[in-house]
Structure 1
């Protein structure tokens, strides 16, 4: 069957470029509809898409619309890569907490940044899901937007739409662990379960033999760092905090230090990370933003230029888009391949709360994506996750009810605020700074 794919948030040019390159390589016939509420970003995405399809001589038609309802009817797959407010709003999620001594290297999953982003994302994604449920009820429905667990939980709770959360983090860490073990990725098998950006590799095998003893040895080597004897770039490369956790919990956390440290703020007072400051000297947030701006400008230039794209433009690039085309193919061909996905917990992680959005393996076959049951997690690992699940429930309620006190509660549960007064002031400043995207809080 030919696919009618709708990409919502197509102004995320890097994702759009990677997705189109993957579709071209698949050789399948596709009707691709691009959607973005920013007409200028949408024009860039549409022009770039047309040039890529022309270069690849692919059987793909491309159209674009700022109104998703105009293109959703008959969709076979809907992919959302929405970021409400874009990088400028994201900056406020990180810069405002810094005024209170809270330093975030990413600020899109947990922490004040995750809370603030959830308040913007949840109403928008619920509205999208309602349209998908109405106009394309049979479509495969994927989300890449963060914070993953709150977005997926809210959409499932309010609309019942079968939204599946995708992230390349577990896939990326599997490749990282293969490299550390010195083996080809194809020889590695693993079990990983948890919450998005804190998913625990509880078993890793090479050629069917457990590699956990070797990982414990590596944890002793890489988990202890003298910051005075190592440059911060070397420290970041080694991910010492993740390896310390591996030694302690006998499981490796994804997705490495840049994300994992945000789940354990009690260990990084004033942002101190092995002698550098998180988000500044270590995992620079400003660098992330500048890189995103530069990538967009380069793609805008490529899209609007009269010159053709260079021949290597279609080469595969890594990123969040990596697996969605493969997943759709596995479903259509009933291939039964296994992927790490975010779904409501219906027993696949036996000792985590039911309905919580968990990241764990699922098989993709003709009837869709179905979670595979994994062994119960250890009590310690459950402890690292259950408080975060309570935070998810609280921030979802805050976003859906526009309840300022729930926002404060979420910041308290997160553990980054040093006092209730700071939690309240931080909540008020974030809500005010994002006023444009939070009309429900200002009626």
Structure 2
């Protein structure tokens, strides 16, 4: 087989390498072309050198190109994969910092909540530019695989306004299933069968079977509470399981910021999170982790390049969906996964226009969703709160409507539990002004926002959050890795 895959945001070096090696685990794909594109020539150079080393070490005919000219990379591409972070860590820092001034403590802030909504405003104009290029220069019928957050908003914009065949992809379902299999004592995650459905980052394991045996709520709760690690790391997630009757795919930290109940008071935050790793609820945890990872990669790049000389091992192919989808579409080897698509009746008690995450099957005929799913009422209600925010956020981003943007933020579950309308209005003005360089659709609204800020009497505070940690130095990271290696 010979076809072209374009990767936008290929400067996300570690993730691009994973996608690349996964795809090359499919024997029929050795002759394909990867076209890498990014706004950073520096990052492009690093990832191309790594991928070239992999190709050379495995004696493959695979072609790898790299360019900052996105349209050139997309020319003739059959598949386009996006893993962009619009605004980089600079804008992301404001997604965390500014809401903290108004009492809003986020762990990740990239899906909804104040940070995720503004992230969507930065992404959607860029996503629509991608879609325009795909329509104009990519192969006829090209498929757009979006990995970038905010997943639902980006996918919604690409489908509804970009008019491109789009699927959103995330690994939360796989990670949640691995946890469940572990606590139930399975020898392999393959022993667990499940139906998991909802919206991205609020997907629910509504049916579980271990080696064919149904698993009920009480057994699952007991298994998690007995686990020596998860019982401490996933306290909030287990509490939701007890109250809702089903387990959520998303991590303790992520889930905490999508709900109005657990992060609205500082003392409550520390009660429900765990500080053993950022993903369990640390304030700005993913920002710290991302910053450390970037610094580590820049410093230790020669080691990453050396590691690329190892042979590709198909047994280590990851469970990221992309390579499995491409394999199914091109070879007709059927793949079952969980995909972000427009609902269109798949989940009976969620809106038709919502972007859902639910089971589907892939073959030569495309992605075929399993319809007829009804979520438990509490799960549907929680999803609905986020869907309404997502819809307003997408419409605000398309129109450049700052008033609608403020209403979207106001209706966010956690923001609404913490902040007054006056605080929300000022916070959004402050975020739009701070991020104006990445918000072209709001250019006309920025002068008035600045004027309002100059006259505002709404009080803010300088607050690091309930559970903030400092970014560790390279020396600290080296010492930690050495200690872990020695211990294990």
Q: By the TM > 0.5 criterion, same fold?
A: yes
Contact 1:104–1:278 (8 Å) recurs in 2: no
- Output aligned runs, 1:259-298, within 5 Å: 259-271=254-266, 272-275=268-271, 283-284=281-282, 288-298=286-296
1:406 pairs with one of 396, 404, 411: 404
Contact 2:169–2:340 (8 Å) recurs in 1: yes
After the TM superposition, which of the residue ranges 290-299 and 418-427 deviates more from structure 2? 290-299
In 2, the alpha carbon distance for the partners of 1:410 and 1:151 equals: 16
Residue matched to 1:53: 55
Could you give the per-residue CA deviations for residues 41-88 of structure 1, whole angstroms, max 9, x where no partner exists? 222222222122222222211101111111212211110011101122
TM-score (norm 2): 0.82
Residue matched to 2:170: 167
Could you give the per-residue CA deviations for residues 298-327 of structure 1, whole angstroms, max 9, x where no partner exists? 544666789744655856899998221111
In 2, the alpha carbon distance for the partners of 1:400 and 1:391 equals: 14
Unaligned runs of 5+ in 2: 445-488
Query: CA 1:106–1:316 in 2, change beyond 3 Å: closer, same or farther?
Result: farther
Correspondence 1:40 to 2:42: yes
Contact 2:236–2:273 (8 Å) recurs in 1: no
Could you give the per-residue CA deviations for residues 237-269 of structure 1, whole angstroms, max 9, x where no partner exists? 2x1221222122221111131211111133322
Correspondence 1:149 to 2:134: no
- Output aligned runs, 1:82-231, within 5 Å: 82-136=84-138, 137-183=140-186, 184-218=188-222, 221=225
In 2, the alpha carbon distance for the partners of 1:302 and 1:5 equals: 28
- Output aligned runs, 1:203-352, within 5 Å: 203-218=207-222, 221=225, 237=233, 239-271=234-266, 272-275=268-271, 283-284=281-282, 288-300=286-298, 308-309=306-307, 311-312=309-310, 314=312, 322-352=320-350
Query: CA 1:220–1:255 in 2, change beyond 3 Å: closer, same or farther?
Result: closer
Query: CA 1:436–1:278 in 2, change beyond 3 Å: closer, same or farther?
Result: farther
1:159 match: secondary structure: coil
In 2, the alpha carbon distance for the partners of 1:182 and 1:26 equals: 31
Query: CA 1:314–1:432 in 2, change beyond 3 Å: closer, same or farther?
Result: farther
1:266 match: secondary structure: coil
In 2, the alpha carbon distance for the partners of 1:212 and 1:195 equals: 22
Contact 1:219–1:243 (8 Å) recurs in 2: no
After the TM superposition, which of the residue ranges 367-376 and 405-414 deviates more from structure 2? 367-376
Query: CA 1:81–1:236 in 2, change beyond 3 Å: closer, same or farther?
Result: farther
Contact 2:256–2:281 (8 Å) recurs in 1: no
Residue matched to 2:443: 442
TM-score (norm 1): 0.90
Q: CA deviation at 1:89?
A: 1.2
Contact 1:13–1:296 (8 Å) recurs in 2: no
Q: CA deviation at 1:91?
A: 1.2
1:284 match: secondary structure: coil
1:101 match: secondary structure: coil
Could you give the per-residue CA deviations for residues 354-397 of structure 1, whole angstroms, max 9, x where no partner exists? 02100001110101111111431122221111121111110001
Contact 1:345–1:356 (8 Å) recurs in 2: yes
Contact 1:51–1:309 (8 Å) recurs in 2: no
Contact 1:76–1:140 (8 Å) recurs in 2: yes
Q: Number of paired residues? A: 434
Unaligned runs of 5+ in 1: 224-229
After the TM superposition, which of the residue ranges 253-262 and 285-294 deviates more from structure 2? 285-294
In 1, the alpha carbon distance for the partners of 2:305 and 2:131 equals: 38
In 1, the alpha carbon distance for the partners of 2:320 and 2:4 equals: 19
Contact 2:197–2:359 (8 Å) recurs in 1: yes
In 2, the alpha carbon distance for the partners of 1:339 and 1:288 equals: 26
In 2, the alpha carbon distance for the partners of 1:118 and 1:278 equals: 28
After the TM superposition, which of the residue ranges 418-427 and 245-254 deviates more from structure 2? 245-254
Could you give the per-residue CA deviations for residues 99-133 of structure 1, whole angstroms, max 9, x where no partner exists? 11111011001100111100000110011011112
